[in-house]
Amino acid sequence: MPEHIQYDPAIEPIKAADCLLLRHRVLRPNQTLADCHYPLDEAIATLHLGYRDAAGRVIGIASVFHEAPPDSDPLDSGSEQAWRIRGMAVEPEAQGRGIGAALLAGLIAYTTAQTDSQSDEGLLWCNGRSTVEPFYLAQGFERVGDIFDLPPIGPHVLLQRRLIGR
């Protein structure tokens, strides 16, 4: 992780294991804890951020993986600059306080720093629940395509934001 990135003081990099309980509680309560572990959780380029409250408890999480979006051309050099947000969650009683926006800003800073300035542009994307689409749109993302279902979780939309390398 780049040392020069400045995060909100309440945000810090955490381990994948530190994300599992909040992912389970907020995002996947009807699935097993094992289902809350994602295939790229332990990849070298993966970043997990945690937002700690005044008591030091992690109340918000967000992860980003180096992964191309669905239906992308693997031979397209731009797919090497693609990052996927996954497992973003905030404790229900703490939602609406800007924690998600602060976590997302941290992910944007990290992925922008990782984007090769020679190629000029990268992509940050996610499969977001349709209910959080307005949040992502307000953060500069755009919707791509129609609503689709991800069983057993529910309706989702593909959202993306261009990254300009430093």
The predicted-structure confidence for 53-65, as pLDDT tens digits, reads as follows: 999 999 999 999 9
DSSP secondary structure string for all residues of 86-117: EEEEE-GGGTTSSHHHHHHHHHHHHHHHHS-T
Dihedral sign for Cα atoms in the order 126, 165, 15, 69: positive
3-state secondary structure of 140: coil
- In this prediction, residue 1 carries a pLDDT of 44
**The pLDDT of residue 75 is above 70:** no
Nearest to 37 by CA among 17, 22, 51: 17
Structural domains in the chain plus CATH codes: 11-164 (3.40.630.30)
How many beta carbons lie within 10 A of that of residue 155, not counting itself?
12
Specify the pTM: 0.88
The predicted-structure confidence for 96-129, as pLDDT tens digits, reads as follows: 999 999 999 999 999 988 876 655 678 999 999 9
